[in-house]
Chains A and B, each alone.
Chain A
Amino acid sequence: MAAKKADESRIVVTGVGLTAPNGNNLAEFRQSLLDGKSGIQKINIRYMGELLAGVCHFDPLKYQKKKELRRGTRAGSIAIYCAQEAIADAKLDFACLDKSKIGIYLGITEHGTVETENEIYEIKQFDYDVKYWSHHHNPRVVANNPAGEVTLNLEITGPHYTLGAACAGGNIGLIQGLQMLLLNEVDLALSGGVSECTGSFGIFAGFKSEGALAFHPNPEKACRPFDKDRNGVVVSEGGCIFVLERLSDALKRGANIYGEIVGYAINSDATDFILPNAERQVECMKLALNKAGISPEDIDIINTHGTGTIEGDPVECQAIREVFGEHPHAYINNTKSFIGHTMGAAGALELAGNLPSFEDCIVHPTINLDHLDPKCPLNNLVINKPKKIDKVDYILNNSFGMLGINSVVIVKKIVA
């Protein structure tokens, strides 16, 4: 049993702002997850033609001027929307806050690919004469761009940066925010992840060349983690930013608390550029459980990373079975089956979609699971329909990425 922590050393989530291919706030997103509503659609990709992707449909002009949109990036725009929504959701008296004590920490899978491709496409019309290369290129492609655009929009003067962590980025943005609060570097953290990758033909082409780009005549059926007919990743954009603060501050202002981050871990496979490693995933989940001071039996919901690739899904299943046993107490679900792979946003978005379970004790399902792959045997997978359970006290969120980066976050229900 972990020693009781002071409220100043306990970090809680008090606001959620998000945009997903099937919802532009937590209530919409959650409802879509309970209703089995996919957000995958057809999209036209430069040089490649019609493909499948998850596209967000938030109104960027809600928080930005047209000029800001023209000058900035899609990732910046997603980040601004999510940050503004998170602050509104947290019911913060933002005008009265010390802006120098707010930090912005956003996980990204990559940044700058979209903007670079666009510039090369543009100068192609001028026979690659670089005098037509935009003066906006560098501020658009610097890696801190999405977080930096938030500071400009909200006039936040505290630290801002992104964390390049492949598809583990969303969880890692969250972990960074927590750590900076614990170090007293900031008093409020806007933490999560963003992705604009549907704007890049290279990302689609890369997955295609790997033989890992999903295709299906029905877009909504394309992302099929753990199904024997799965055939790859659906590339999606999205964003999710949490307001994190110390429990003591949240209680003082009477904030609505979604949950407390009690466990987390990050480790590396050190084995392959792409292929995951079950042993390291096991270690990562165990590290997070140890940090939380709890046992596998305490976890009520596991949100899997499962992307729908042939190679990746069985590895995660093996790791979960090793940590939680053949007959786990926890119920297991997957969010990518609805929204595809939102890359840098995935960890944060997928956690967000599960947080309402603390209140309603409903586990949203994984959809498109018609024939469970014998290589992915997982008991307690919630398949195609939501599952009402007795209680939800702990949620464990897996998020893994290329170059063998693993991340796990555990959130605990706060009893008012």
Chain B
Amino acid sequence: MTKEQIRDTILEIIGQIIPDEDLSNLKGDVPLREQVELDSMDFLDIIMELRKRYGIEVPESDYTQLATLDGSVAYLDPRMRDL
């Protein structure tokens, strides 16, 4: 996957988890939880979806790296580029 495809995938997963939110104007460098209604259970849904779809394990100590969209792409790029 390219970085663009990873970003689209993350957005698609988030869109499933919080379907009432408009994700079209999300800023990449601002924490997601400051821009949309995304609580800790929703965040765990993202982690679960990455596990189910791609077998990616995100240890709890790395959760903060997924706080922003840009951070998520950077973190997932080495784990998803060969998918």
Contact residues of A with B, CB < 8 Å?
65-67, 70-71, 126, 131-132, 134-136
For B45, the chain A residues whose CB sits under 8 A away are 135
Number of interface residues of B (CB under 8 A): 12
- Inter-subunit contact A135/B48 (CB<8 Å): yes
Could you tell me the distance in whole angstroms from the C-beta of A152 to the nearest C-beta in chain B? Answer: 13
For A70, the chain B residues whose CB sits under 8 A away are 17, 19
Does B83 belong to the interface (CB within 8 Å)? no
B43: nearest chain-A partner, CB-CB: A135
Instruction: Pick from B37, B41, B52: contact of A136, CB below 8 A.
Output: B41
Complex CA distance for A70 and B42, rounded to whole angstroms: 11
A-B contact pairs, 13 of them (CB 8 A): A66-B19, A67-B18, A67-B19, A67-B20, A67-B42, A70-B19, A71-B41, A126-B52, A132-B51, A132-B52, A134-B48, A135-B44, A135-B45
For B44, the chain A residues whose CB sits under 8 A away are 135
B19: nearest chain-A partner, CB-CB: A66
Could you tell me the distance in whole angstroms from the C-beta of A127 to the nearest C-beta in chain B? Answer: 13
A135: nearest chain-B partner, CB-CB: B44
For B51, the chain A residues whose CB sits under 8 A away are 131-132
A136: nearest chain-B partner, CB-CB: B41
- Inter-subunit contact A65/B48 (CB<8 Å): no
Could you tell me the distance in whole angstroms from the C-beta of B61 to the nearest C-beta in chain A? Answer: 17
For B41, the chain A residues whose CB sits under 8 A away are 71, 135-136
The 3 A-B pairs with the shortest beta carbon distances in the complex, nearest first, are: A66-B19, A65-B20, A135-B44
Q: A135-B41, A136-B41 are in contact. Are A66 and B52 (CB under 8 A)?
A: no
For A71, the chain B residues whose CB sits under 8 A away are 41
Could you tell me the distance in whole angstroms from the C-beta of A145 to the nearest C-beta in chain B? Answer: 15
